[in-house]
């Protein structure tokens, strides 16, 4: 093993006329890593994936795959294979012919080719569907065929373009677990494009969150969720209560701010922090606020009134109006302590840990 | 009275009348072609195949049939090649003037054919060209293009660009991709286009009539024979053969077209 990353991207840009789809992106992806590109539609994530695959040429910048500069290399000369969003199963071929499509050019013996195809079909748990026609497959089966067709080529990097977005919720969750297990089994570098934050968090070793053609933040799922550097990233990754604050003191790495109700806090500055006119945005995730029952006490408490509630079965979401705060605080409680019994108008006390509050840049 | 009228179901009556008017005369054609009489009239006198036998020995007719075959094959191949390019451009790309271009290609379908024929004749004569099978071919290509286009556009519309990308991604070359993916997927539409344009060319009369020199195609030959009452049964036999051939060719084309459509639809609905 060398230290050279599997994929090294430097200063990559892609323009379509006036529109800059990808704006000076640099990143590295390690060998064997499950890496996700996460962002809303139009953020450039698919553009980046297609540049790695070689379907489009960048306007500026370089991509090296497995230590080899890939500038000028077409898709058929790169050690990458792709699972397409609509799977792109060849309609005139059966399942085995689809899976064996890329092997045909390698001029293997008939027996060897059949063995590799069967191995790939076994791997995606479709061992008996070889002779099935493409139009006789269910959505989940098509997805597996597309996976097998790419994996049989033993790529250095497997690229996945929103592979689960066409499946219904239950099947999608099943396939997520399978995809993760498959990646660990084959040890190939996976690059996944998705707009589903839960998918990215659950599957990936690292995630790059993209907005407007740029990477806003790139980190492990837990770091991203707990320490978003901007308000945009925090918002995209789930619920967040944003609080306005006044800056009191600034040192090299820390900032002391004054907030309504949450008081004086000393918080770590996120990377690239930019304060806006002496004010800063502080946030706390809804599940980090906890309802206090009966005479239970906590070191840090806030009092408020339930303004609205939504019941989700395993959890209940509450919007709690707190005097002095502009917006109600949203909180999520699991239903094992009776949060589902709270009614609108109820006076409640909330506990929080000051370490759960994070400081973010506000780009808006 | 009104009670009786309202009880009659008018739609089936209308449908029956319509069908009889449309198809009964056409059915008379093969009927009289097997009738043992020189005139096309009832009552029928007896069954014979002698009109068909006479056709086989008619060198002028065979010459015209050969001309039709040559013209039909040439027209269908050239038309389909042109329509492949145009249909692919129209369905794949967005470009300036796309709608007017498509409209102009489809226009001959709606223009009065006799006007097109006369205009083409004037142009051909102005250019100083000899009227020949070649001029018929040129005229019929213009006329057949809309038919080919509508068949091919339907075939290409469902063609998914990512199929070609998937093939490239799996290591295949651009030419290999065309041979192993693009061609097989759109082949039924191409075959349907060939059959449709051949059939249209085979039956086409007005352009062929205006643009033919000394060598007529079958419809032009039939027109010429109608002047001789004695030749009528032979013409009826020839007409019957052409009708059967057209129906068979068009049915085959429709089968291929549906086959292609089903394949593409199956893919879309499941993805």
Q: Are residues A169 and A313 in the same domain?
A: no
Q: Residue B216: which domain range?
A: 61-270
Predicted confidence at residue A284, as pLDDT, reads 94
- For residue A319 the two structure tokens come to 């919007």
- Examine residue A112 and state whether it is found in any structural domain, yes or no: yes
Local mean pLDDT, 10-residue blocks, chain A (364 residues)? 80 92 94 94 93 93 91 89 92 90 89 92 87 85 92 93 86 88 91 94 94 94 93 92 89 87 87 80 92 88 93 92 90 86 90 91 72
Q: Are residues A117 and A13 in the same domain?
A: yes
Which residue out of B158, B160, B164, B166 would a mutagenesis test of the A interface target, given it has the greatest number of A Cβ atoms within 10 Å? B166
Q: Do A76 and B165 touch (CB under 8 A)?
A: no
CB pairs under 8 A between A and B: 78
- Examine residue A2 and state whether it is found in any structural domain, yes or no: no
B101 in Cβ contact with B90 (< 8 Å) = yes
Torsion region of A42: left, alpha or beta (phi above 0 gives left; psi -120 to 50 gives alpha): left
Which H or E run contains A360? Answer: strand A358-360
Q: Do B160 and A88 touch (CB under 8 A)?
A: yes
Query: DSSP characters for A290-316?
Result: EEEPTT---SSEEEEEEEEEEE-SSEE
Q: Do A80 and B169 touch (CB under 8 A)?
A: yes
Q: What pTM does this model have?
A: 0.78
B214 CB within 8 Å of a chain A CB: no
Query: How many residues are present in chain A?
Result: 364
What sign does the dihedral B190-B196-B200-B201 (CA atoms) show?
positive
Contacts of B176 in chain A (CB under 8 A): 105
Q: Any idea what DSSP says for residue B181? A: I
Predicted confidence at residue B5, as pLDDT, reads 62
- Examine residue B25 and state whether it is found in any structural domain, yes or no: no
The three-class DSSP label of residue B214 is: coil
What sign does the dihedral B38-B39-B40-B44 (CA atoms) show?
negative
- Examine residue A238 and state whether it is found in any structural domain, yes or no: yes
Is pLDDT above 60 for B266? no
Q: Do A91 and B263 touch (CB under 8 A)?
A: yes
Q: Are residues A217 and A236 in the same domain?
A: no
Predicted confidence at residue A364, as pLDDT, reads 53
C-alpha torsion angle, residues A71, A74, A79, A83 (rounded to 10)? 120
Predicted confidence at residue B99, as pLDDT, reads 86
A325 in Cβ contact with A341 (< 8 Å) = no
Can you give the CATH number for the domain in which A65 is found? 3.40.50.300
Q: Of A240, A243, A211, which is closest to residue A228 (Cα–Cα)?
A: A240
Of A226, A257, A292, which closes a domain?
A: A226
**Residue A36 CA: distances (Å) to CA of A10, A88, A174, B46, B72:** 18, 21, 18, 83, 57
Q: At what angle do helices A169-186 and A110-123 cross, to 10 degrees?
A: 130
Q: Which residue of B has its CA nearest to A148?
A: B170
Query: DSSP characters for A56-116?
Result: S--SEEEEEETTEE-TT--GGGSSEEEE-TT----TTSBHHHHHTTTGGGG---HHHHHHH
Q: At what angle do helices B133-157 and B98-106 cross, to 10 degrees?
A: 130
- Examine residue A118 and state whether it is found in any structural domain, yes or no: yes
Is pLDDT above 70 for B3? no
Contacts of A138 in chain B (CB under 8 A): 270
Query: DSSP characters for B2-63?
Result: HHHHHHS-HHHHHHHHHHHHHHHHHHHHHHHHTBSSSS--SSP--B--HHHHHHHT-HHHHH
B94 CB within 8 Å of a chain A CB: no
Can you give the CATH number for the domain in which B183 is found? 1.10.3720.10
Q: Are residues A178 and A273 in the same domain?
A: no
Contacts of A134 in chain B (CB under 8 A): 266-267
- Examine residue B238 and state whether it is found in any structural domain, yes or no: yes
Write down the residue that tokens 């249909």 correspond to: B87
B268 pLDDT band (50/70/90 cuts)?
very low
A86 CB within 8 Å of a chain B CB: yes
Question: At a CB cut-off of 8 Å and minimum separation 6, what does B160 contact?
Answer: A86, A88, B267
- For residue B92 the two structure tokens come to 């794949």
Q: Are residues A222 and A252 in the same domain?
A: no
Beta-sheet pairing, A80-83 with A157-161: parallel
Q: Which of B162, B171, B264 sits opposite A76 (nearest CB)?
A: B171
Contacts of B185 in chain A (CB under 8 A): 90-92
Q: Of A87, B137, B263, A70, which is closest to residue A99 (Cα–Cα)?
A: A87
Q: Residue A90: which domain range?
A: 7-226
B160 CB within 8 Å of a chain A CB: yes
pLDDT above 90 coverage of chain B, percent: 12
- Examine residue B33 and state whether it is found in any structural domain, yes or no: no
Beta-sheet pairing, A301-311 with A290-292: unpaired
A82 CB within 8 Å of a chain B CB: yes
Q: Are residues A236 and A260 in the same domain?
A: yes
- Examine residue A290 and state whether it is found in any structural domain, yes or no: yes
Nearest-angstrom CA–CA distance, A51 and A9 = 10
The side-by-side arrangement of strands in the sheet containing A315-321 is: A290-292, A347-351, A301-311, A315-321, A329-334
Q: Are residues A209 and A249 in the same domain?
A: no
ipTM of model: 0.83
Q: Which of B163, B169, B185 sits opposite A75 (nearest CB)?
A: B169
The three-class DSSP label of residue B160 is: coil
Of A205, A226, A247, which closes a domain?
A: A226
**Residue B195 CA: distances (Å) to CA of A141, B119, B143, B184, B263:** 37, 27, 15, 17, 20
Q: How far is B255 from chain A (nearest CA, A)?
A: 16
The three-class DSSP label of residue A359 is: strand
Mean pLDDT comparison of A273-277, B28-32, B98-102, highest-scoring range: B98-102
Of A197, A226, A255, which closes a domain?
A: A226
Q: Are residues A103 and A148 in the same domain?
A: yes
Q: Are residues A25 and A173 in the same domain?
A: yes
Q: Do B184 and A153 touch (CB under 8 A)?
A: no
Q: Do A53 and B169 touch (CB under 8 A)?
A: yes
- Examine residue B220 and state whether it is found in any structural domain, yes or no: yes
pLDDT digits (tens, 9 = 90+) for A144-158: 999 999 999 999 999
Q: How far is A21 from chain B (nearest CA, A)?
A: 20
B183 CB within 8 Å of a chain A CB: no
Weakest mean pLDDT among A99-108, A303-312, B31-40, B155-164: B31-40
Q: Are residues A235 and A128 in the same domain?
A: no
Contacts of A149 in chain B (CB under 8 A): 166, 170
Q: Are residues A14 and A139 in the same domain?
A: yes
Contacts of B171 in chain A (CB under 8 A): 76, 102, 105, 153
Q: How many domains, in total, are found in chain B? A: 1
- Examine residue A1 and state whether it is found in any structural domain, yes or no: no
B270 pLDDT band (50/70/90 cuts)?
very low
Q: Which of B167, B172, B185 sits opposite A91 (nearest CB)?
A: B185
Contacts of A101 in chain B (CB under 8 A): 167, 170, 172, 180
Q: Which of B173, B180, B267 sits opposite A135 (nearest CB)?
A: B267
Can you give the CATH number for the domain in which A356 is found? 2.40.50.100
Predicted confidence at residue A212, as pLDDT, reads 93
pLDDT digits (tens, 9 = 90+) for A24-76: 999 999 999 999 999 999 899 999 999 999 999 999 999 999 988 888 888 88
The three-class DSSP label of residue B254 is: helix
The three-class DSSP label of residue A157 is: strand
pLDDT digits (tens, 9 = 90+) for B43-92: 777 778 878 887 877 788 888 888 888 998 999 999 999 998 888 888 87
Q: Are residues A170 and A244 in the same domain?
A: no
Is pLDDT above 80 for B6? no
- Examine residue B143 and state whether it is found in any structural domain, yes or no: yes
- For residue A276 the two structure tokens come to 């806006």
């Amino acid at each position: 093993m060398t230290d050279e990353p599997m994929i090294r991207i430097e200063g990559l840009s892609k323009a379509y006329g006036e529109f800059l789809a990808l704006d000076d992106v640099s990143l590295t992806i390690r060998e064997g890593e499950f890496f996700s590109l996460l962002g809303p539609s139009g953020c450039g994530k698919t553009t980046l994936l297609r540049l790695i695959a070689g379907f489009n040429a960048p306007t500026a910048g370089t991509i090296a795959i497995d230590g080899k500069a890939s500038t000028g290399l077409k898709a058929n000369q790169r050690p990458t294979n792709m699972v397409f969003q609509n799977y792109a199963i060849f309609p005139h071929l059966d399942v085995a012919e689809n899976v064996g499509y890329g092997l045909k050019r390698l001029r293997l013996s008939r027996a060897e080719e059949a063995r590799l195809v069967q191995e790939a079909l076994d791997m995606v748990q479709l061992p008996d569907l070889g002779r099935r026609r493409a139009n006789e497959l269910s959505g989940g089966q098509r997805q597996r065929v597309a996976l097998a067709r790419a994996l049989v080529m033993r790529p250095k990097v497997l690229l996945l373009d929103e592979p689960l977005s066409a499946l219904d919720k239950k099947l999608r969750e099943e396939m997520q677990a399978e995809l993760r297990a498959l990646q660990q089994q084959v040890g190939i570098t996976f690059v996944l494009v998705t707009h589903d934050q839960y998918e990215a968090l659950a599957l990936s070793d690292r995630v790059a969150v993209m907005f407007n053609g740029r990477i806003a933040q790139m980190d492990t799922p837990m770091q991203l969720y707990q320490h978003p550097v901007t308000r945009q990233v925090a918002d995209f990754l789930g619920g967040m209560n944003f609080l306005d604050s006044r800056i009191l003191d600034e040192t090299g790495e820390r900032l002391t701010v004054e907030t309504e109700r949450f008081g004086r806090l000393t918080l770590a500055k996120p990377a690239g922090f930019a304060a806006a006119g002496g004010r800063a945005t502080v946030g706390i995730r809804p599940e980090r606020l906890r309802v206090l029952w009966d005479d239970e006490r906590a070191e840090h408490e806030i009092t408020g009134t339930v303004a609205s509630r939504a019941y989700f079965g395993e959890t209940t979401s509450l919007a709690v109006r707190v005097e002095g705060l502009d917006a109600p605080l949203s909180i999520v409680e699991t239903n094992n302590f009776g949060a589902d019994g709270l009614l609108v108008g109820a006076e409640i006390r909330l506990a929080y840990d000051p370490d759960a509050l994070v400081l973010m840049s506000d780009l808006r | 009275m009104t009670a009786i009228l309202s009880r009659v179901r008018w739609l089936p009556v209308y449908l029956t009348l319509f069908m009889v008017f449309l198809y009964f005369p056409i059915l008379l054609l093969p009927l009289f072609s097997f009738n043992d009489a020189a005139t096309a009239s009832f009552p029928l006198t007896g069954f014979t195949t002698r009109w068909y036998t006479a056709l086989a020995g008619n060198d002028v007719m065979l010459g015209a049939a050969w001309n039709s075959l040559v013209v039909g094959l040439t027209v269908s191949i050239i038309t389909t090649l042109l329509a492949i390019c145009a249909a692919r451009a129209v369905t794949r790309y967005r470009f300036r003037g796309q709608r007017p271009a498509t409209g102009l290609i489809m226009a001959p379908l709606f223009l009065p054919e006799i006007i097109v024929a006369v205009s083409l004749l004037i142009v051909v004569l102005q250019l100083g060209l000899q009227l020949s099978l070649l001029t018929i071919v040129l005229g019929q290509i213009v006329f057949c293009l809309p038919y080919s286009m509508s068949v091919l556009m339907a075939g290409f519309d469902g063609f998914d660009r990512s199929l070609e990308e998937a093939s490239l991604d799996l290591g295949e070359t651009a030419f290999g991709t065309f041979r192993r993916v693009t061609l097989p997927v759109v082949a039924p539409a191409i075959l349907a286009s060939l059959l449709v344009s051949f059939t249209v060319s085979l039956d086409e009369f007005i352009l062929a009539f205006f643009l033919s020199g000394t060598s007529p195609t079958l419809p032009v030959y039939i027109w010429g024979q109608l002047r001789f009452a004695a030749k009528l049964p032979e013409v009826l036999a020839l007409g019957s053969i052409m009708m059967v051939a057209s129906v068979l060719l068009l049915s085959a084309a429709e089968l291929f077209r549906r086959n292609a459509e089903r394949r593409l639809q199956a893919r879309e609905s499941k993805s």
